[in-house]
Structure 1
Amino acid sequence: MPKRILVVEDDATIRETLSFNIKKEGYLVLAAQDGAEALRSARTARPDLVLLDLMLPEMSGLEVCRVLRQEGDVPIIMLTAKDSEVDKVVGLQLGADDYITKPFSLRELFARMTAVLRRSEQRALPAAVDEDRLGRLTIDRAGRRAMIDDTELKLAPKEWELLAYLVRRPGRVFTREILLEQVWGYSYLGDRKTVDVHIRWLREKLGRFGKLGFQIVTVRGAGYRIDPMRKSAEATA
């Protein structure tokens, strides 16, 4: 069954152009011109992906993103004319999966759509209640262990918690502030570089095992994510 794409854009020309070209790629397209209509469509039609313009009348795209993320886990790609690091970080912090800055090519948009949909499908795969698997890595949540194939990784408690948190949502970007809150706790007053240091330690320990089927990626100006990787594209992070 074709994937359903919700296009949320107040500019009629852009909305119609996107809808036309996305349909040509074999998707089913829903369209909304403002935030309220977008939320109604998302609740009734249950799209597989939302393309969300940041600058909407009345209810902003960031507010729509926040509500969508509160109500579910639908993938969201932000469309923005603002090439501002702050806007990108806020959107990602609210739960958007990716962003693309106008003007953009259809080729780039379709590549990002394919990648986000693929990551969403991987997250939806059934898994054991207390285990998460990604490539050669298994996170045993009940035993608080991390295994590469049959070998247990020697991780400090916070290293394990950080890795387990990232693995639970592959492809999702997390800012350093979110990681500090979720892994170290709201009362933690340490330097943001604590996250960077622990990421470096994880990369060093994971790197000893060669190709793993994923990599920890630094998103410049935003934070970190774990990317599942195809065998043909696998490389050291």
Structure 2
Amino acid sequence: MKRILLIEDDRDIAELERDYLQLNGYQADIVSDGLLGLSHALSGVYHLIVVDLMLPKKDGFEIIKEIRRNLEVPILIVSARSDDIDKIRGLDFGADDYLTKPFSPAELVARIKSHIKRYERLKGPIASTVLQHRGLEITPASRKVSVNGNPVTFTAKEYDLLFFLASNPNIVFSKSHLFDTLWDDDFCGDTATVAVHIQKIRKKIETDPAAPEYIETLWGAGYRFNA
């Protein structure tokens, strides 16, 4: 049974979320403050973490940053804060999705199912094979990446994009193809987010992001991992 962590200080909302998740076959744990929520999240036993932004003791942004330093588990933000700046900040810190309150519990369950399914599909196909390209090493079993022996931290979506490209070297993929393959239908964005993630990946793996050696841009066509 998949385990979901709900870090939410509104007990009524948290219990409603938990009930819907349980009806759909998930085990859901509720934690009402940020500090305790982070401790639970870092236990590594959860398949997905739902985080509110406005929490006592430690806010959601800090929780997301700390989780991302240690784990690649999917993270879904649920918050009453609907400003684009909050959404962008949350996604930049490593969240995979953002759902604005009020929302349908059925939509929350659907997004959770989708993110877990996508995460498992992307990490599973060649889990025993380590990808190595000129100092870049990707270990799918642990979703770890290193450059010249130095570990590099990625958000879940950055890792998914890098892994997909590195697993299909020397093939050109359009932004539309990458977006359709790696992002959910419910994601509030467009193909521009692919370019943003490519830029972030390059900053982490390229010696000179302005003259990339690994992920090349073919203007008018898309991106190619140069093997």
Question: Percent of aligned pairs with the same residue?
Answer: 28
Rounded to whole Å, the distance in 2 between the matches of 1:28 and 1:200 is 46
Change in CA separation of 1:94 and 1:175 when aligned onto 2, cut-off 3 Å:
farther
Please give the secondary structure, in 2, of the residue aligned with 1:100: strand
Rounded to whole Å, the distance in 1 between the matches of 2:18 and 2:100 is 18
Q: Does 1:201 align with 2:200?
A: no
Rounded to whole Å, the distance in 1 between the matches of 2:74 and 2:64 is 10
Greater radius of gyration (CA) = 1
8 Å CA contact 2:44, 2:71 repeated in 1: no
Rounded to whole Å, the distance in 2 between the matches of 1:14 and 1:58 is 19
Change in CA separation of 1:53 and 1:201 when aligned onto 2, cut-off 3 Å:
same
What is the aligned length? 178
Q: CA deviation at 1:25?
A: 1.3
8 Å CA contact 2:7, 2:52 repeated in 1: yes
Alignment of 1:177-192 (within 5 A): 179-183=198-202
Please give the secondary structure, in 2, of the residue aligned with 1:78: strand
Q: CA deviation at 1:179?
A: 3.3
Rounded to whole Å, the distance in 2 between the matches of 1:11 and 1:33 is 7
Change in CA separation of 1:139 and 1:109 when aligned onto 2, cut-off 3 Å:
closer
Aligned to 1:39: 38
Once the two structures are superposed, residues 32-66 of structure 1 have per-residue CA deviations (whole angstroms, 9 ceiling, x without a partner) of 10111112212336100111111112311011011
8 Å CA contact 1:3, 1:48 repeated in 2: yes
Rounded to whole Å, the distance in 2 between the matches of 1:124 and 1:61 is 26
Change in CA separation of 1:200 and 1:76 when aligned onto 2, cut-off 3 Å:
farther
Please give the secondary structure, in 1, of the residue aligned with 2:221: helix
8 Å CA contact 1:181, 1:188 repeated in 2: no
Unpaired stretches in structure 1, ≥5 consecutive residues: 148-152, 191-196, 206-237
Rounded to whole Å, the distance in 2 between the matches of 1:146 and 1:77 is 33
Aligned to 1:76: 75
TM-score normalised by the chain length of structure 2: 0.64
Aligned to 1:87: 86
Q: CA deviation at 1:176?
A: 5.1
TM-score normalised by the chain length of structure 1: 0.62
Once the two structures are superposed, residues 171-229 of structure 1 have per-residue CA deviations (whole angstroms, 9 ceiling, x without a partner) of 49957555334326697689xxxxxx8685218x9xxxxxxxxxxxxxxxxxxxxxxxx
Aligned to 2:106: 107
Unpaired stretches in structure 2, ≥5 consecutive residues: 133-137, 139-159, 212-216
Aligned to 2:130: 129
Once the two structures are superposed, residues 99-129 of structure 1 have per-residue CA deviations (whole angstroms, 9 ceiling, x without a partner) of 1110001121111111101111013211632
Please give the secondary structure, in 1, of the residue aligned with 2:20: helix
The Cα RMSD (Å) is 3.8
Aligned to 2:8: 9
